[in-house]
Amino acid sequence: MNFFRPFLLTLVSATTLTATACDGPARTTSTATAPTAPVAAITPTATVAAAPDSAGPVAVAAETPVTAAASAPAAAVKPAARAKAVAVTPVASAVSASPVVAPTAAAPAAAFSHAAFDKLLKKYVNSQGRVNYKGFKSEEKAFNDYLAQLSKNPPTAADSKAEQMAFWINAYNAYTIRLILDNYPLKSIKDIGEPWKKVFFSIGGEKMSLDNIEHGILRKKFNDPRIHFALVCASISCPPLRPEAYSAARLSAQLDDQARDFLNNPGKNKLTASSAQLSSYFDWYKDDWNQNGQSVVKWVNKYAKTKIDSNTKISFMDYNWNLNEQ
């Protein structure tokens, strides 16, 4: 044993221990020289380099001390193997997840389109407001498809006043045409027998008549007498049927245009400075014309080229119920 001791001390003193960091080349540690104590006391410690800050916390493996047995021969005493830091995938501070998308408000429903009706009106109504009922009958499927959509899509309180009014005016005129086609040919809508009280269609699941639209909805809810210039009862003395559908965007202008056309048409109203033969509309609906500080005279003067006053003698023309056919 005494023979090997000098050799063993020489071997340990010449040995250099190194540890490899995970982020660079091996680093050389200080040389450990064996003391006079037994070899078993020599316990080198591995050096572990920390990961870069940007990589987050790194788990470091525990290093087991390396101890050489005292009784082992010198050849068995070896420097501890170079320790390596365990490469650990950086752990995010928060669990990665799919981005949370805030719920978005539902887009407002698009306004009901009267484009199909508009197309038919342009084809089968002339500039005098007369109707080609045979033409409508030739495209009955397209017309019925429009009515089916109309029936399923009533306006709601969320719709603007103009959208609601346009819908109901178009509905009244469209279902009047449908009623004529159902009974065509005929000379007058009055040949049907109480046509305005006849319940023959539904809108929004509610069975309705033309009177329901005119008196129960348009007159009652919207308080705009100009509707009387737009609702067409399929007769010669009615206002002319407009060769286009009513739309919310242009409703007020369309109603004003209807009023001008109706009051300046000598077949509907005959005006002079001293006398006025007015449509029976101004008699039947006088309560509508006289509300809100208005009067028949004021309404006439708003749209007629020939003006009248309180001294003008007013009478009402006989109503021509013949069909407004071309």
Q: Is pLDDT of 89 > 80?
A: no
Separation of alpha carbons 161 and 119, rounded Å: 24
Instruction: Look at residue 100 in the predicted model and tell me its pLDDT.
Output: 56
Choose among 199, 216, 225: nearest CA to 302.
225
Distance CA 232, CA 267 (A): 15
Tokens 């023959």 sit on residue? 200
User: CB of 134 within 8 A of CB of 157?
Assistant: no
How many CA atoms within 13 Å lie on the side-chain side of 325?
A: 15
**64-80 pLDDT, tens digit each:** 444 333 344 444 434 44
Which pair of structure tokens corresponds to residue 261?
Answer: 């056309």
pLDDT band at 192 (very low <50, low <70, confident <90, very high): very high
pTM (two decimals): 0.68
Q: How many CA atoms lie within 13 A of 257 on its CB side?
A: 11
The C-alpha atoms of residue 39 and residue 66 are separated, in whole angstroms, by 12
